[in-house]
Amino acid sequence: MPDEKRDGKKIAVLVSGFGSNLQAILDAASKGQLTGTEVALVVSNRREAYGIQRAIDHGVPVVYFPLAPYTRAGRPRQEYDAALAAILRALAIEWVVMAGWMHVFGPAFLDHFPQRVVNLHPALPGAFPGTQAIARAYEAFQRGEIDGTGVMVHLVPDEGVDVGPVVRQEKVPIHPDDSLDDLKTRIHKVEHRLLVEALQQLGVARESFS
Ligand code: GRF
């Protein structure tokens, strides 16, 4: 494949909140660590998500696409998934990165991007799926059930929650004197690096050696 074809592979980053992982991707791109990738779109399902501002600051187009109007109108969830997929496809998006995105997609979305949807989970494979994974790991540690936690980046093959082929995973220790905020900070630091490494490993991007 000629290099020009690989250059500018368009990705969409989906956020629901603070957007620090989006920022890690944007920073890596600015530093030349995601060569061949263009962050072509950010999608937020929440109007107040700070990730929207991060995208604007970086000059990346943003779509605010909430689920609530669909739910209120009694429209099936698949319609939301299909509509969002249509927006991304119209913009020639090739890869989708769920970076703190709080919806689970079904086939109406995923079938448009087979093996091309990446999710970040702040725990190890099989551990603490769903929301509040860091807090639940912290509590499990307090109860003596686990001695550490981790981060994983995986592909999203179906509507399973935080499951799918693992691209990268890394253990993160929990120390006895950690506060929950200490653990969150440690995990987010690993997430920001691991997500970028996963995109490089998947061939979505390549590290610049210049
Ligand atoms: C991350 O911890 C991610 O793993 C989880 O939600 C958090 C989002 O953080 N699913 P941010 O919005 O990227 O700062």
- Expressed in angstroms and rounded, the spacing between residue 131 Cα and the centre of ligand 1 is 10
Among 2-6, 109-113, 190-194, the minimum mean pLDDT is found in 2-6
Euclidean distance between CA atoms 192 and 152, whole angstroms: 11
Query: What average pLDDT score do residues 70-99 get?
Result: 97
pLDDT value, residue 191: 98
Nearest-CA residue for ligand 1 atom 14 is: 20
Nearest-CA residue for ligand 1 atom 1 is: 100
- Expressed in angstroms and rounded, the spacing between residue 17 Cα and the centre of ligand 1 is 7
* 16, amino acid identity: S
| Percent share of the chain, pLDDT over 70 | 95
Name all domains of the chain by residue range, CATH numbers in brackets: 3-201 (3.40.50.170)
Nearest-CA residue for ligand 1 atom 10 is: 100
Where residue 195 falls (left for φ over 0; alpha for ψ -120 to 50; beta otherwise) is: alpha
pLDDT value, residue 208: 63
Residues in contact with 30: Cβ distance below 8 Å, sequence separation at least 6, in sequence order: none
User: Taking the complete model, does pTM exceed 0.85, yes or no?
Assistant: yes
Residues in contact with 5: Cβ distance below 8 Å, sequence separation at least 6, in sequence order: none
Q: Which atom of ligand 1 is nearest to the CA of 134?
A: 2
Mean pLDDT, the chain, integer: 94
Residue 121 annotated among the catalytic residues of the structure: yes
Q: Which atom of ligand 1 is nearest to the CA of 22?
A: 13
DSSP string for 50-72? HHHHHHHHHT--EEE--SHHHHH
Within 6 A (CB) of ligand 1 lie 15, 17-21, 99-100, 120-122, 191
Query: What average pLDDT score do residues 108-112 get?
Result: 98
Q: Which residue has the higher pLDDT, 1 or 52?
A: 52
